[in-house]
Copies of this chain bind each other. A is one copy, B any other.
Amino acid sequence: MLQISTRAGAMPASPIRKLVPYAEAAKRKGIHVYHLNIGQPDVETPPAILDAVRNADIRVLEYSHSAGNESYRRKLVEYYKKVGIDVDHNEIIITTGGSEAIMFGFFTCLNPGDEVIIPEPFYANYNGFAVAAGVGVVPITSHIENGFALPPIADFEKVITPKTKAIIICNPNNPTGYLYSREEMEALKTICLEHNLFLFSDEAYREFCYDGAYVSALHLDGMDQHVVLMDTVSKRYSACGARLGAFVTKNKDVYGAAMKFAQARLSPPGLAQILGEAAVDLPDSYFDEPKAEYQSRRDLLVSRLNAMEGVFCPNPGGAFYAIARLPIDNADTFCQWLLESFSHNNKTLMLAPATGFYGTVGLGKNEVRLAYVLNKQDLSAAMDCLEAALKVYPGHIPLSSTTEHAVTF
C-alpha cells in the first residue's frame, strides 16, 4: 500500500475553504450566500493594469529572470520609495503571490525543528508552510479585549528557546485587522535584536490603514539583517488571481539562499509581471477610493456588529478583516449551521470560524472572522442575516454567560 508523506498528513486543510461544500449546497437550494469568509475583494482591478497585459507586445512568452524581470524590480524600487522603504532592485525577488515569498522565508531561514513565534490569531496558511518546512509554530495569544494588540514582550520571552529563529507578523493584520503602532514595532525590534531572530513581516495590506500610521518592518533602524518582507499585489490592486508577490530583504545571505529556491522553480508568472509593473504607474490617488470604500464598510460592519446583543467587535485599524465575538457555543458549528440550516429572506452568509486562526487548541470558539469585501448594501443585508441568525441559532448563549465565557479565553 502506497502511503502519502507524514507531512502531507499533517498539513491542515484550509479553515477558510473547508465550508465551501456547505456553501455550494446552500446555493443549489437557491439560497443567496454572502461571502464574508475569504479575502477576495470585490473592488475592480484597475483597468489600466489589465490593459497593460492586453497591449503587451509578446512574440514568445519566455521565462523571466528567476528574480523577476529587472524592469519590474526597478519599478518596485520606486513603489517602495513612496511608502518610505529604501531598497535596491537586487534586494527584491518577484514571487508567485505572497504565498511563495512566505515559503521562501521558511525554507531559507529555518531548519526542520526550528520554531517561529506568531501572535495568534494568525493567517492560517502560515501553518501549512510551517508543516511543509518542518518548522514548529509557537503561538502567543493576542486578545479581542484590547483589539488584538501585540502581546507584551514578556509573553515572547516566555516562549523563546534556542530553537526560536523568527517572529512572524502580519501588519496590518489578517485576520484581526489590527495595525501595529510604532511602539509595538520597536518592541519587536528589541526582541529580535536581543535574541537574534529574523522578523518575517507580511505587509500584504499596507495600503489599507485607517487609523494611525503604517510602520513597515523595513522602517526600523538597525534591523536590515533581520527583516524579510513578504509582499503581494493581490490586495493592493485587487489582483489576487495574478499570483504576484515579492520577497524583500537586505540580508545578502538570505537573498542569495532564496535565489537558489527561486532558480529551482525557474521564474515567477510572466503575464502578471506586466500587470505589476504597470500598477506602479497608477496615480498615487488610485488608493483613495478603495481605501475610503473599505473604511466606510468597516465603519458599517463594526457598528452593526456591536449593535447586536451579545456581540463584540473591536474596531480594526487596517486591512479588511474584523474578528467578532458572538454569543454562540461553537464557531465551527455556527458557520456550518448558517449554510446548512438557516436562511433569512432566502439569504445567508458565510463566515470563517476563528478557531482555524489560533494555534492554541480551544481558542476562538466563539469568534468569527469577517472579511468586508462586499459593497455596503450587501454587507448590510449580510448583517441582517447574522442578526436574525443569532436569534434562532440553537447553540446561542445568552449575554451574561457569554461574557463569562469570554473571560475564560
**Residue ranges of A at the interface with B (Cβ–Cβ < 8 Å):** 1-9, 11-14, 17, 38, 40-45, 50, 53-54, 58-64, 66, 96-97, 99-100, 103, 107-112, 114, 125, 128-129, 132, 134, 196, 198, 225-226, 238-243, 251, 253-254, 257-258, 260-261, 263-272, 275
Contact = CB atoms under 8 A, between A and B. Distances in A.
A56 to B, nearest CB: 9
A5 B166 CA distance: 12
A345 to B, nearest CB: 26
Contacts of A60: 40-45, 238
Contact of A96 (B44, B50, B243): B243
A17 B263 contact: yes
A1 B272 contact: no
B17 A45 contact: no
Contact of A5 (B63, B110, B132, B264): B110
A61 B14 contact: no
A266 B97 contact: yes
A264 B61 contact: no
Contact of A267 (B11, B41, B243, B264): B243
B2 A111 contact: no
Contact of A241 (B6, B38, B100, B270): B270
B9 A257 contact: yes
B6 A261 contact: no
B263 A242 contact: no
B96 A251 contact: no
Nearest to A135: B5
Contacts of A264: 11, 14, 99, 125, 128-129, 132
Contact of A63 (B198, B240, B253): B240
A97 B267 CA distance: 9
Quick one: copies of this chain in the complex? 2
A13 B260 contact: yes
Contacts of A63: 38, 40, 240-241
Nearest to A239: B61
A69 to B, nearest CB: 10
A19 to B, nearest CB: 13
A256 to B, nearest CB: 8
A59 B44 contact: yes
Given A6-B111, A129-B264, A243-B267, 10 more contacts: A2-B251, A4-B254, A11-B261, A45-B61, A53-B54, A61-B241, A99-B264, A125-B266, A243-B266, A269-B272
B241 A62 contact: yes
A263 B129 CA distance: 11
A196 B2 CA distance: 6
Given A5-B257, A8-B108, A108-B8, A240 B61 contact: yes
A112 B125 contact: no
Given A60-B45, A261-B132, A2 B198 contact: yes
B260 A242 contact: no
B272 A14 contact: no
Of the listed residues A5, A12, A257, A268, the one surrounded by the most CB atoms of chain B closer than 10 A to its CB is A5
B269 A242 contact: yes
A240 B111 CA distance: 32
A107 B7 contact: yes
Contacts of A2: 109, 196, 198, 225-226, 251, 253-254
A99 B4 contact: no
Contacts of A4: 108-109, 253-254, 257
B45 A50 contact: no
A109 B4 CA distance: 5
Contacts of A14: 66, 260, 263-264
A99 B128 CA distance: 19
A286 to B, nearest CB: 15
Contacts of A5: 107-111, 114, 257
